[in-house]
Structure 1
């Protein structure tokens, strides 16, 4: 899965964007947050503490609902936005 570079600017939160087309949304979110945090995905808390993983896969997976713009939630100290178009944005709040 190709990674977009982490974008950092002075005084701005870090951000990472990546597509999830090659895996499930749940796996892609955990991987993106782990990359942003510089840690192993297994070191993160369960995604189920932040959002229902099955619902996330159902809403933005391959069989997603047309017209869905995005889903936003907080996970492991990061703001996560999963778009209906297949992108994941991970932002560390200031």
Structure 2
């Protein structure tokens, strides 16, 4: 499973929605670039960004962390 797919599934689960109901991930990050960076990185590298009401961080080993942000 791609990191983008795994991320969307985690976000949908966190929001209690179907993945198809979420806005495209491409609205905030290029999924292809995200895949390339994570696949070529070691565990010390991470990518962080905001998506809807979540702070997202993905480490080089593919670990996804979601933190709810309160606005």
Per the normalisation by structure 2, the TM-score is 0.88
Give ranges in structure 2 of 5+ residues lacking alignment.
none
Q: What does 1:51-66 correspond to in 2, within 5 Å?
A: 51-61=29-39, 64-66=40-42
Please give the alpha-carbon distance, in whole angstroms, between the structure 1 residues aligned to 2:42 and 2:66. 23
Q: Deviations over 1:33-90 (max 9, x none)?
A: 11111111000000000100100010113xx134652100111221110011220011
Q: Residue 8 of structure 2 aligns with which residue?
A: 30
Root mean square deviation, CA, Å: 1.4
What stretches of structure 1 move > 6 A for 4+ residues in a row?
none
Q: Which has the higher helix share?
A: 2
Aligned mate of 1:70, from 40, 46, 64 = 46
* TM-score for both structures, normalised by structure 1: 0.68
Structure number, greater radius of gyration: 1
Structure 1, unpaired ranges of 5+: 1-22
Q: Which has the higher contact order (CA 8 A, sep 6+)?
A: 1
